[in-house]
Amino acid sequence: MSDNVEALYQEIILDHYKHPRGAGLLDNAAGESFQVNPTCGDEVTVGVRLDENDHLHVGYEGQGCSISQASASVMTELLEDATLDRVADAERAFHELMHSKGAGEPNEDALGDGIAFAGVSKYPARIKCALLPWVALQDARLKAGIEIDQSTTPDA
């Protein structure tokens, strides 16, 4: 396997793919979003709600390739019970990483295991896979009326 593909399929990614964390939908989501990647049929549904302390709770369900499913698992683990500031930082950092064409310096504070996706940004066809759960998260959040600081909202 080439270095690029080894970098794409980091141990962390394969581990989340085989042992997904936090899989399953919330029964009391305030907003839910179903997203598909029409080129390959990857699917993910993400649901969110805020608790009384304004912490986010995330649930998901999906099927698809290792990158899309590991991304959903990493995102859910990262953002479960997170403050909205943390959500905003993570959303922005993940989008930036995906658009970095492999040259980005991933922000570990914001992304946790999400830094493992740095190698994905070299493969344009896989960026969509990695972003799929994040797009669903953003949409579910908006449907639930959960606003994050717009100045930090990623534009893509």
Partner 1 sequence: MVSTVLDVSRLRKDFPILERTVRGDRPLVYLDSAATSQKPFAVLDAERAYYETSNAAVHRGAHQLAEEATDAYESARAAIAGFVGAHAEDIVFTKNATESLNLAAYAFSNATAKAAQGGVVDPRLVLTPESSVVVTEMEHHANLIPWQELCAKTGAQLRWIGLTEDGRLDMDQLSVIDETTAVVSIVHQSNILGTINPVRSIMDRARDVGALGVVDACQSIPHMRVNVDDLGADLVTWSGHKMLGPTGIGLLWGRSEVLDRLPPFLTGGSMIESVTMEGSTFAPPPQRFEAGVPMVAQAVGLEAAVRYLESVGIESIEQHEHELTAYALTTLSHMPGVRIIGPESSVDRGSAISFVVDGLHPHDVGQVLDDRGVAVRVGHHCAWPTCRRYGVPATTRLSTYLYNDTDDIDAAAAGIRAAQEFFGVA
Footprint on this chain of partner 1 (rule: CB under 8 A): 1-2, 4-5, 8-9, 14, 18, 39-43, 63-67, 123, 125-126, 129
Q: How far is the CB of 110 from partner 1 (least distance, A)?
A: 27
Residue type, 121: S
Distance of closest approach, residue 8 Cβ to partner 1, in angstroms: 7
Nearer to partner 1, 14 or 149 (CB): 14
Q: How are beta strands 55-63 and 82-83 bridged, if at all?
A: antiparallel
Instruction: Identify the H or E element spanning 132.
Output: helix 124-143
Of 66 and 107, which CB lies nearer to partner 1 in the complex structure? 66
> Which residue, 97 or 129, has its beta carbon nearer to partner 1?
129
Going by C-alpha positions, the residue among 115, 112, 113 that lies closest to residue 104 is 115
> Quick one: how far is CA 109 from the chain centroid?
15
Query: Strand pairing partners for 24?
Result: 60
Residue 80 Cβ vs partner 1, minimum distance, rounded to whole Å: 25
Residue with smaller CB distance to partner 1, 67 or 148: 67
Smallest separation (angstroms) from partner 1 to the CB of 1: 6
For residue 60, the minimal CB distance to partner 1 (Å) is: 17
Got the DSSP string for 54-110?
A: SEEEEEEEEE--HHHHHHHHHHHHHHTTEEHHHHHHHHHHHHHHHTSTT-----HHH
57 DSSP β-pair partners: 49
Report which residue type is found at 15: D
Which residue, 15 or 139, has its beta carbon nearer to partner 1? 15
